[in-house]
Structure 1
Amino acid sequence: MFGKLKKLFMDKNDLETNDKYISVPESEINENLKRDIVKLERLGEVYSESLQYKYKSKFERDGKRNLKIWVCRDIDGDQISNLSSEQCLEKEYRSQVAINFEGFTDEEDAYIYYIQLWYYFGGYFKGSGALYDLSKNHLETDIKEKVEEILKQQ
């Protein structure tokens, strides 16, 4: 439930003003951007799988079982079973690398830790997006830092 509330009240300006993200006006949301989003999400999936494998035993030694790192997608907070990056240009589409442990599932409000990849803020007449900036950041490093941060927590 907390996850749903957090997403509901998350200010889109938090993403737009963060140096890890590129603000994308609606006029630039097109098929070229879609290709970039698909590539970013696939890269996120590769890094997630690799880092989950790498850190699984470290988490278990720390008493934190069932580490799961994955790319999750939703539209307006609702996860749809067959949702893929192909729908990334639909308003309110969001993708993120989610990190969980201790038996959490991939239900929409079950993850606590995440790194936003793409979010298309929809409005009635126009929207905008926030895209993780691969030109200034390294996604694998950001995921690894988040996992290390989680390991340090009790």
Structure 2
Amino acid sequence: MFLKNRKGLSEVASNILMLALIVVLMTALFSYTVDFARNYQMKQGSARLESLVIEDVWFRYDPYNPSDLNARNITVTLYNNGELNVVIDSVYVNDTLCTNVEFNPSNQTITVKNHGTLVIKDSHAVDWESSRPVKIKVVTERFYSIEGEYVAP
């Protein structure tokens, strides 16, 4: 005996619905892949080719007037041993952003296999004490970061 009032999807309708679902999912996957590839090429992927080394940290002050904060600074020498030029974006001392930093070269770019110097003059940064560690962190525009703790003399 056959049922004459079947209420279900025909084979053609179910195939069309399945095809539409697959097209929507593949479009979403393709959009995600294109966006991921663009981000990888622009910034994050190339950050893996960046490599900086903090070669030297100098804590400078006026020996005749050691409490004069205007005569104090922290000089950091960096070396780019990566495969790309590095642009310094920000510098942190003890997890606080430094805004009074002099860069050499002045365009904040350290070319491949070359040195660069940062002179940190922020009041919170130069208020270091002898024999206490100072945490220095340097971040590039591609979000590569190098950090270390250095003890003031």
Higher strand share: 2
Higher helix share: 1
Which structure has the larger Rg over C-alpha atoms? 2
Q: Give yes or no for TM over 0.5.
A: no
- Normalising by structure 1, we get a TM-score of 0.26
Structure number with the bigger relative contact order (C-alpha 8 A, sep ≥ 6) is: 1
- Normalising by structure 2, we get a TM-score of 0.26
